[in-house]
């Protein structure tokens, strides 16, 4: 395993010429583009890694999976799935087009509109939503020092127009009931969490362990909820590139425009890769290549 990770890290610079780092906010545009890290957290909680696996980066949309897991713990399935769908969108992560056609109900929880809806539910349900989201991720990763990057969160708020448009449209349909600015602030803070590959791989290890955290032995989700989460990650985790990712890698996954991707090999491990240069869908190019190499190197065919 360690040899494989070292080889993937050594091969990653081949992808460094391609793609661009996210530039919609200055805080992300300044990230050094030619970095690569990979970490594997096994179902027993042990970790192996290579490259820049302990460097923290902006987790961005990977936070959508943390948020959904928290919502699945806190709210009934009826309440959640009445207000957000479970179908792949086939559209860009921040697309607004389906919202109007589908009466303000987002296609799935892993596009921006869907994550804003999940955040809306958490804001209604929790006493201190932002702090609770941070506590949840600290607990999942067993890393008490995980924190928001306030510069990123502020920068997102300064460039909020697109996400605000999504949220206000959902409010117009009566599907967002809280103050939109409060929902946006909680969503941007979740996206701004700074974590390393090691910390992110640890935070989703429960999805490779029947829903049980290997760090405290407690169930985060039930086995059925874990299967449901992994199904959604497989079909919707990489937006309109989910089909291609399933074709190439064949694992449930979630990407973020910070250049991170997490992937789950059920019952065995969670993998996190990071490399900031993105393709046109907003997914890490070197990260996806490395995951293809990992699946090939391990010779695993979960869908085969």
Task: Supply the residues annotated as catalytic.
Answer: 61, 64, 187, 239, 257
Distances (CA, A) of 270 to 12, 63, 281: 19, 15, 23
Residue 285 as a binder of ligand GLN (CB under 6 A): the answer is no
Nearer to ligand GLN, 159 or 210 (CB): 159
Nearer to ligand GLN, 98 or 222 (CB): 98
**Collapsed DSSP state (helix, strand, coil) of residue 146:** coil
Residue 60 as a binder of ligand GLN (CB under 6 A): the answer is yes
Nearer to ligand GLN, 47 or 169 (CB): 169
Residue 201 phi/psi, 5-degree rounding, is -60, -40
Residue 93 as a binder of ligand GLN (CB under 6 A): the answer is yes
Q: Which residue among 89, 119, 163, 196 contacts ligand GLN (CB under 6 A)? A: 163
Residue 166 as a binder of ligand GLN (CB under 6 A): the answer is no
Distance (Å, whole) CA 206 – CA 221: 8
Distance (Å, whole) CA 24 – CA 4: 34
Residue 159 CB-density burial (10 A; 0-12 exposed, 13-18 middle, 19+ buried):
middle
DSSP at 36: -
Q: Which residue among 234, 242, 257, 290 contacts ligand GLN (CB under 6 A)? A: 257
Q: Closest approach of Cβ 46 to ligand GLN, in Å? A: 29
Nearer to ligand GLN, 188 or 206 (CB): 188
Residue 204 phi/psi, 5-degree rounding, is -110, 10
Task: Give residues in contact with ligand GLN (CB under 6 A).
Answer: 60-61, 93-94, 112, 156, 163, 191, 256-257, 282
């Amino acid at each position: 395993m360690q040899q494989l990770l070292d080889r993937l890290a050594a091969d990653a610079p081949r992808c460094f010429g391609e793609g661009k780092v996210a530039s919609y906010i200055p805080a992300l545009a300044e990230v050094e583009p030619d970095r690569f890290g990979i970490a594997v957290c096994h179902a027993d909680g042990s970790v192996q890694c290579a490259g820049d696996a302990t460097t923290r980066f902006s987790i961005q949309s990977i936070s959508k999976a943390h948020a959904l897991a928290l919502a699945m713990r806190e709210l009934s399935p009826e309440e959640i799935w009445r207000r957000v769908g479970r179908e792949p969108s086939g559209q860009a992560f921040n697309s607004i087009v389906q919202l109007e056609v589908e009466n303000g109900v987002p296609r799935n929880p892993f596009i921006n509109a869907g994550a804003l809806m999940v955040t809306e539910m958490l804001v209604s349900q929790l006493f201190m939503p932002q702090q609770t989201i941070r506590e949840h991720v600290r607990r999942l990763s067993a890393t008490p020092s995980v924190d928001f990057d306030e510069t990123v969160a502020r920068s997102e708020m300064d460039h909020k127009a697109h996400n605000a448009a999504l949220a206000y449209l959902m409010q117009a349909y009566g599907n967002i009931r809280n103050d939109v600015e409060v929902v946006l602030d909680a969503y941007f803070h979740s996206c701004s969490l700074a974590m390393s590959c090691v910390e992110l791989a640890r935070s989703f290890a429960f999805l490779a362990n029947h829903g049980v955290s290997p760090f405290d032995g407690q169930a985060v989700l039930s086995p059925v909820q874990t299967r449901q989460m992994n199904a959604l990650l497989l079909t919707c985790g990489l937006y309109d590139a989910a089909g291609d990712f399933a074709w190439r890698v064949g694992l449930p996954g979630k990407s973020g425009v910070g250049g991170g991707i997490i992937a789950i090999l059920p019952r065995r491990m969670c993998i996190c890769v990071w490399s900031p240069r993105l393709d046109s869908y907003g997914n890490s190019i070197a990260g996806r290549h490395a995951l293809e190499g990992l699946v090939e190197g391990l010779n695993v065919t979960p869908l085969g």
